Amino acid sequence: MEFFQEEEEEHPEQKGCCAFLTVQYYQPYFNVSEDDVIDRIKASFLPFRKDFHERVAGNPDLWGPLWISATIIFLITAVANINQMNFEGQTTYSVDYVPQSAALLYCISFGTPVILTIVMKILGSDIRFFHTVCLYGYSMSILMPITILCVLRNSYVQWCLVGYGMISSSSFLIMGMRKILGDLEQAKRYIIVGIVLAMQFSLYLLYKLVFFKVIEKNSTE
Burial letters for 194-219: b for 16+ Cβ neighbours within 10 Å, e otherwise? eebeebbeebbeebbeebbeebbeeb
- State whether 129 and 213 are in the same domain: yes
State the pLDDT at residue 215.
44
* DSSP labels, 78-103: HHHHHHHHHGGG------THHHHHHH
Total domains in the chain come to: 2
State the pLDDT at residue 88.
53
Report d(CA 110, CA 99) in Å as an integer. Answer: 16
State the pLDDT at residue 21.
61
State the pLDDT at residue 75.
92
- State whether 10 and 99 are in the same domain: no
Domain of residue 108 covers 33-218
- State whether 146 and 179 are in the same domain: yes
pLDDT value at 144 more than 50: yes
- State whether 9 and 45 are in the same domain: no
- The model's confidence at residue 212, banded by pLDDT at 50, 70 and 90, is confident
State the pLDDT at residue 221.
42
pLDDT value at 160 more than 70: yes
Report d(CA 89, CA 116) in Å as an integer. Answer: 45
Contact 182, 103 (CB under 8 A): no
- State whether 7 and 101 are in the same domain: no
- State whether 17 and 54 are in the same domain: no
- State whether 20 and 91 are in the same domain: no
- State whether 127 and 155 are in the same domain: yes
- At 62 the three-state DSSP class reads coil
pLDDT value at 204 more than 60: yes
- Torsion from C-alpha of 191, 49, 132, 31, nearest 10 degrees: 180
- State whether 125 and 137 are in the same domain: yes
pLDDT value at 80 more than 80: yes
pLDDT value at 7 more than 70: no
pLDDT value at 92 more than 50: yes
- State whether 37 and 11 are in the same domain: no
- State whether 37 and 25 are in the same domain: no
- State whether 7 and 47 are in the same domain: no
pLDDT value at 72 more than 80: yes
